[in-house]
A and B are shown apart, each in its own frame.
Chain A
Amino acid sequence: MSEKQLLDRSSDAPMKRHMGLKASRTLANTSIYVLLVVISVIWLIPFICIVLQSFRVESTGQVGYVIPQQWGVDNYQRLFQTDFPRWYVNTFIAALFTAVFQTIIVLCMSYTLSRFRFKMRKPLMRFMLILSMFPGMLTMIILYRVLSDLGLTQANAVPGLILVYIASSGMGYYVSKGFFDTLPKSLDEAARVDGATRFQVLKKIILPLSKPIVIYTVLTAFMGPWGDFVFARYISFGTSSGMNAAVGLYNWLNRDQIEKSYTLFCAGGVLVAIPVTVLFMCLQKYYVEGVTGGAVKG
């Protein structure tokens, strides 16, 4: 074999192997993407159906086709002649109050459990962890009794719901405590020596450093009441003015209602989905960071 041939072989061989690697990687990626696209199409079909149906004008009941024959916003206009605005506002108030108060409580709770050392701290944490493993539904009947004695059911269901949502929020400390634990304690200590009170430490040092986890907390606190159905239905107990959007919309799917309200239901569903979608699109960067950030932040 000549020297030239030898050189050719030696330079060619790794090249071929390299190409093989690249090709197989491309193949793997392509198949993964194809699979993901198929899954997301399946996933999106119900949503697309609802959006399309909400613009159907020619009939109001369930039909055997997806694309409307006549397009229009009649359904959205009709929504405002029903109780829907009331339900929507109810949901919004409940979610907003819960988001504000639950966030405050959770963050204070997490900071306390992360930074303060007191007797029964560990037993308390364990107790709350175990308690939070029981489904909330278990307490539904007794909570209804309590709220009805307080006059916070049916027409007054919204304040009652807010009370229930906020009451147990301290138990959701786990994720944010985990995040706070990763922030060096000497930051607190430096700030305290610098003249800050514990609350100022939380406000000026810890929270600005915990943006992802604060946003995560706000989002989860908002989402819970926004999408709640079971509890809201039970507490409002058939009184339309106390219902939230999910409960109210569900009632339009009754056998005697569905023929005239199905497209209305679809339009309502779209309106309910919009704020949450916008919120997620704006904050998803932080949200993902928040969920994973607590665990491994260096």
Chain B
Amino acid sequence: MASVKLTDVKKVYDNHVTTVHDFNLEIKDKEFIVFVGPSGCGKSTTLRMIAGLEDITEGTIEIDGVVVNDLQPKDRDIAMVFQNYALYPHMTVYDNIAFSLRLQKMPEDEIYEKVTNAAEILGITEYLTRKPRALSGGQRQRVAIGRAMVRNSKVFLMDEPLSNLDAKLRNQMRAEIILLRQKLNTTFIYVTHDQTEAMTLGDRIVIMRDGIIEQVGTPMEVFEKPHNIFVAEFIGAPKMNMIKTNLVKEGGCYYVTPFGARIEVDGEKGEELIQKGVKPGPVTLGVRPEHMVLAPEGGQDAIPCKIEVNEMMGSELHLHLVTEDETRLIVRVPTIELSAQQREHLGFGTQLYITFKGKVMHFFDSESGKNLIYG
């Protein structure tokens, strides 16, 4: 249980490639923080610097108020779970979990108690005498978590722990990590490239790109108030539709004019635009696929499109649409809202109309990509 503070942390490799730029972040005690971003964004490097497995080129990392830059991993009081499990192949599951405790010279009966307790929580009691190669992927990952668990360390680090598991198991383990977190009640730092994991696990999410923090916030914040186009597109699946259009101000009201339609920016968003004094002009309009709805033909706010691909996901349909000027959009339609006749009708080339409300719009500067309200 400890806070972690990173101040101006920078990582430059020997080949002069900078993977992390001036990283500043304060992680509170008992917080579950998730580093998320595309591969190569420096999230794992940052985690490994906290663990002490990579040198820190510049800046300081503090754990519980102590600068740990020059401490060996063993002296930092951290536990870590690796992507490829990193179980010791020549030891049984029991010995794997007991390894760190034996290094601490803990009495064997105490070790026994701790290991069996952890095994029970993780449901691996019956495998304690097996070697790792006789376990399935999910079981191995549990052992890896068990090995980290028994140490009662200040900070719990996880480097993409679920990415080697199949989709079903991943969902299950994700739920188990949430439970584990409640039991351990310690500081977690979790690295993933999967935005779903980030959204479901994190108290706060750190979204990174090219070694730079793009946004830090709660899952709701980064979803509802993305600071820029990158964050807006990265969080949420399928990704947010980006439409180049014009913001018009008439009679104290804002309008957008995508593809010849005219949609009023009403409600909260309109007020926020007025408050911020956003200048009318060309903008990039962001609308999430689930916020676009099918509209009746001929309305002023209806955008005409044709269906390119229709993906049936079960509970919903993902319609890949193309507008008259060849812009591609994705719309998520709940299956339950469609009649059987409509569903059959939605094939390749079908003409339809979509629209969306003002409150779901996001406005970005077309050049810098910054959110015009929150950026």
Contacts and interface: CB of A to CB of B under 8 A. Distances in A.
A binds B: yes
Interface of A: 117, 184, 186-187, 189-197, 200, 204-205, 208-209
B259 interface: no
A215 to B, nearest CB: 15
A209 B89 CA distance: 8
Interface of B: 14, 51-53, 72-74, 78-80, 82-84, 86-90, 99-100, 103-104, 147, 151
B345 to A, nearest CB: 53
B88 A191 contact: yes
A200 B103 contact: yes
A209 B74 contact: no
B73 A193 contact: yes
Q: Could you tell me the dominant secondary structure of chain B's interface residues? A: loop
Contact of A192 (B72, B90, B151): B72
B53 A189 contact: yes
B53 A194 contact: no
A61 B254 CA distance: 117
A184 B74 contact: no
Given A187-B88, A205-B88, A195 B74 contact: yes
Which 10 residue pairs spanning A and B have beta carbons closest together?
A: A194-B100, A190-B86, A186-B86, A195-B103, A195-B74, A192-B73, A193-B80, A208-B90, A193-B73, A186-B82
Contacts of B79: 193
A25 to B, nearest CB: 35
B90 A191 contact: no
Contacts of B87: 190
Given A186-B82, A192-B52, A193-B78, 12 more contacts: A117-B14, A186-B84, A187-B88, A189-B51, A190-B80, A190-B88, A190-B147, A191-B88, A195-B100, A196-B74, A204-B99, A208-B90
A193 B74 contact: yes
B103 A194 contact: yes
A119 to B, nearest CB: 9
A196 B75 CA distance: 10
Nearest to A207: B90
A192 B103 contact: no
A184 B88 contact: no
Contacts of B84: 184, 186
A5 to B, nearest CB: 54
Contact of A190 (B14, B72, B82): B82
Contacts of B99: 191, 194, 204
A8 B52 CA distance: 75
Nearest to B77: A195
B23 to A, nearest CB: 21
14 contacts: A117-B14, A186-B84, A186-B86, A189-B80, A190-B80, A190-B82, A191-B88, A193-B74, A194-B103, A196-B74, A196-B103, A197-B74, A200-B103, A209-B90
A85 B82 CA distance: 57
A209 B91 CA distance: 10
Contacts of A208: 90
Nearest to B90: A208
Nearest to A119: B14
A194, A196, A205 pick with most chain B CB within 10 angstroms: A194
B86 A184 contact: yes
A215 B188 CA distance: 43
A272 B76 CA distance: 55
Nearest to A194: B100
Contacts of B82: 186, 189-190
B88 A192 contact: no
A275 B51 CA distance: 49
Contacts of A187: 86, 88
B137 to A, nearest CB: 15
A205 B88 CA distance: 7
Contacts of B74: 192-197
Contacts of A204: 99
A193 B103 contact: no
Contacts of A189: 51, 53, 73, 80, 82, 86
Contacts of A117: 14
Nearest to B75: A195
Nearest to B103: A195
Nearest to A200: B103
Most buried by B among A193, A200, A204: A193
B74 to A, nearest CB: 4
A194 B146 CA distance: 12
A184 B73 CA distance: 18
A200 to B, nearest CB: 7
A247 to B, nearest CB: 43
B97 to A, nearest CB: 10
A139 B265 CA distance: 88
Nearest to B100: A194
A183 B227 CA distance: 43
A209 B83 CA distance: 21
Contacts of A194: 74, 99-100, 103, 147, 151
